[in-house]
Amino acid sequence: MKKTYISFLTILFVLVLSACGAQKDENTTGDTASLYDQIKEKGEITIGTEGTYAPFTFHDKSDKLTGFDIEIAEEVFKRLEIKPTFIETKWDGMIAGLDAKRYDLVANQVAIRPERLEKYDMSEPYIVSKAVLVVHEENNEIKSLEDLNGKKVGQSLDSNYRKIAEEHGATNTVVVGFNQAIDLIVSKRIDGTINDSLSYLDLKKQRPDLPIKTVYEEPDATSNAFLFRKGSDELVEAVNGALADMKEDGTYLKISEKWFGTDVSK
């Protein structure tokens, strides 16, 4: 009876191991194709983006999703013969959505940082920008960040730019966005604001008569790129190839000048 019981346990153990092995083989077989191969086979790629961050990713007057990042991504995957499908989500949960495989990549002005490269794959930079200090065109007192001491600025509450301004002695007036800060500068209710140079270029393009100017630009540019999950090597390589081709044949410059009036790859 004891031998029979041991034999039964042995058979059961073998069956469990076999089942686990079969499951492992099934999963391995399903994952042998790279992400890029899977996307090519489907003919579609999903892209996480904000949809509320002009001029990079936003809705125009007809409610169409558009912007610099959107057009760059569309052109990249047009060349790779893959249909891009954009999934809009708030920035706070965007990278978590990539981790959860809600989409295949993120296109939303994601800065290249060492800590991100440890956990994610990123493409070559497709845009660079710098922070600028904006003041009224009649303001000749402020010429650098040091001149903000004792002055009033307008920054979003959770903005890194607010911290920079306050570190230089400025008093902050909380604003909900760049446009509100500019309106306060124009009415001379505040002295200045710090923001992205590309946002400033876009604003001047849309409203060239605004009586504002930049008096300082940070020396080090921030490079932004598409963000992927780790292990997306072939997909990243394909995207980088398309970006390089776009820059070589002038397509990138055309899109850049459409949105900013200049080459934002440098």
| Contact by Cβ (8 Å): 197, 217 | yes
* Mean pLDDT score across all residues of the chain: 87
pLDDT for 261:
82
Domain membership flag for residue 12: no
What are the beta bridge partners of residue 217? 132
231 shares a domain with 106? yes
Residue with more model confidence, 41 or 22: 41
Supply the range of the domain harboring residue 236. Answer: 35-127+223-260
Please indicate, yes or no, whether residues 108 and 150 belong to a single structural domain of this protein: no
In this structure, are residues 105 and 227 in contact, taking their beta carbons and an 8 Å threshold? yes
Give Cα separations from 174 to 63, 157, 179, 193 (angstroms): 28, 6, 12, 11
Scanning 172-232, the segments in alpha helix (DSSP H) are: 178-186, 197-206
Cα 133 from Cα 248, distance rounded (Å): 33
Q: How confident is the model at residue 52 (pLDDT cuts 50, 70, 90)?
A: confident
pLDDT tens column, 214-251: 999 988 888 999 999 999 999 999 999 999 999 999 99
Percent with pLDDT over 90 in the chain: 64
Q: pLDDT tens digits, residue range 200-217?
A: 988 888 889 999 999 999
Residue 70: per-residue pLDDT: 98
**137 domain residue, yes or no:** yes
User: Is residue 27, in this structure, part of any structural domain at all?
Assistant: no
Look at the chain and report how many structural domains it folds into: 2
Overall average pLDDT of the 154-177 stretch: 86
pLDDT at 31: 52
Q: pLDDT category, 16, cuts 50, 70, 90? A: very low
Considering the domain architecture, whether residues 143 and 172 belong to the same structural domain is answered as yes
| Per-residue confidence band for 29, with pLDDT thresholds at 50, 70 and 90 | very low
Please name the residue that has the structure tokens 């292990």: 231
Task: Tell whether 5 is covered by a domain.
Answer: no
Tell whether 95 and 81 lie within a shared domain: yes
Label residue 12 by pLDDT band (50, 70, 90). very low
Q: What's the pLDDT at 230?
A: 97
Task: Answer yes or no: do 140 and 206 share one domain.
Answer: yes
Flag whether 17 is in a domain: no
Question: Which residue type, as a one-letter code, is found at position 211?
Answer: P
Determine, yes or no, domain membership for 187: yes
Q: What is the dihedral of CA 133, 137, 139, 143, to 10 degrees?
A: 40
Q: Are residues 41 and 115 in the same domain?
A: yes
**Is the pLDDT assigned to residue 82 strictly greater than 50?**
yes
pLDDT at 266 over 70: yes
Q: How confident is the model at residue 157 (pLDDT cuts 50, 70, 90)?
A: confident
Confidence of residue 159 (pLDDT cuts 50, 70, 90): low
Please answer whether residues 122 and 215 qualify as being in contact, where contact means their C-beta atoms are separated by less than 8 angstroms: no
**The domain that contains 189 carries what CATH number?**
3.40.190.10
Query: What pLDDT score was predicted for residue 158?
Result: 60
* 9 domain residue, yes or no: no
**CB 48 within 8 Å of CB 105:** yes
- Digit-coded pLDDT (tens) for 106-139: 999 888 889 899 999 999 999 998 889 999 999 9
Q: Where are the beta strands (DSSP E) in 197-247?
A: 212-217, 222-229
